[in-house]
Amino acid sequence: FNTAICWLKQKGITTGYNQFTFGYGRTVLREEMAAFLHRLAESPPVWGDPATCHTFRDVPPGSDFNTAICWLK
């Protein structure tokens, strides 16, 4: 999967983890997938305030994924 992972990184779709790791073998969380899709779509704007406009109780208000999640909604 090296070629595909490098393409994702080059396009800015994924950023990886600390220490230049990718998290091989780790399950992709749904909030991470939301971020991947938002970046793949070239990070379009979100209507409203991402900090407060969604209704997902399991996403904390200060989450780094709020913008992507609101965009998907």
Residues whose CB falls within 8 Å of the CB of residue 46, separated by 6 or more in sequence, listed in order: 53, 67, 70, 71
Question: Which one, of 73, 67, 36, lies nearest residue 51 by Cα?
Answer: 67
pLDDT of residue 68: 92
Question: Which one, of 57, 55, 58, 41, lies nearest residue 68 by Cα?
Answer: 41
pLDDT of residue 12: 92
pLDDT of residue 28: 92
Q: How far apart are the C-alpha atoms of 71 and 46, rounded to whole Å?
A: 5
Residue-wise pLDDT tens digits, 4-62: 988 999 999 998 888 778 888 899 999 999 999 999 999 999 887 777 676 788 888 78
